[in-house]
Amino acid sequence: LIVMLNQDTEVRPGAFDAIAGIFNTHLKAGVVGPKMIDSTGEIDPSLSYFPTVFNVVVRIFGLIRYLPKKHRFGPHRVPLSEYGSPRRVDWVSGGCFVLCREAFGVLGGLDERYLFYGEETDFCYRAKRRGWEVWYTPDAEVDHHGGTAARKVPIWAMEQSYRSMILFFRKNYRWDRSVLLNLFFLVKFLLGFIISCGWAMGSRREEGRARMAAYRRLMRIILG
């Protein structure tokens, strides 16, 4: 087995034994993720559905608040009410996930073009297409003091998040889905650029300029 573990995590005793048990019980398991616990002791949402045009658009335009309460973390997240027992999922958080060595070798490992986000989503998607299963077990718990890197460089993290979504759609989905999503991205980036221009001319000059540059680079990806 191959363990992928963020530096801002702490593995609780018995976690890897529980994960190994899933691999031993479910022979098609290619990826297994634990229950992630945030710094307040609550469940850190770590189970998700694969990206769709709908759930990405809802996220980037801040429409989550109009969804039912069970989707308060977004339509791409599995509701917390379903974290109580082992289950198959689309993909698990890269904060901590364990890979079958055979799957890792056959799929050629993680795609290094994903610099900060998305590599686990992409790997799970490719694994499921090749017949492996992605599992979650609540019997393995990992403390996740997450978001520290993103908080230090928020604009860079934002840019990498968008780059990863663009890459995932271009790589894994039909061209029409990618083109449709790119249109929404272009609107989002243009609006972000305009707002950042206002910041750059006001009291948030440095942040505004940095965001303008990030949105400009993102628009070049879409238009290029």
Please write the tens of the pLDDT for every residue from 73-103.
Answer: 677 889 999 999 999 999 999 889 999 999 9
Q: Can you tell me the mean pLDDT for 106-112?
A: 94
Q: What is the average pLDDT value for the chain, to the nearest integer?
A: 91
Q: Give percent helix, percent strand, percent coil of the chain, each to the nearest 5.
A: 50, 20, 30
Distance (Å, whole) CA 121 – CA 84: 22
Q: Sign of the CA dihedral 73, 189, 160, 153?
A: negative
Using alpha carbons only, how large is the chain's radius of gyration in Å? 19
Q: Can you tell me the mean pLDDT for 4-21?
A: 93
User: What pLDDT does residue 125 have?
Assistant: 97
SS3 assignment, position 66? helix
User: What pLDDT does residue 72 have?
Assistant: 62
* Domains in the chain: boundaries: 2-147, 149-223
What percent of the chain shows pLDDT beyond 70?
95
Please report the DSSP string for 173-210 in residue order: S-HHHHHHHHHHHHHHHHHHHHHHHHHHTTT-HHHHHH
User: What pLDDT does residue 147 have?
Assistant: 62
Question: Above 90 in pLDDT, residue 163?
Answer: yes
Q: What's the CATH number of domain 2-147, 3.90.550.10, 3.20.20.70, 3.10.20.600, 1.10.10.10?
A: 3.90.550.10
CA 204, 60, 146 angle in degrees (round to 5)? 75
Distance (Å, whole) CA 102 – CA 219: 38
Q: Structure pTM?
A: 0.90
User: What pLDDT does residue 149 have?
Assistant: 63
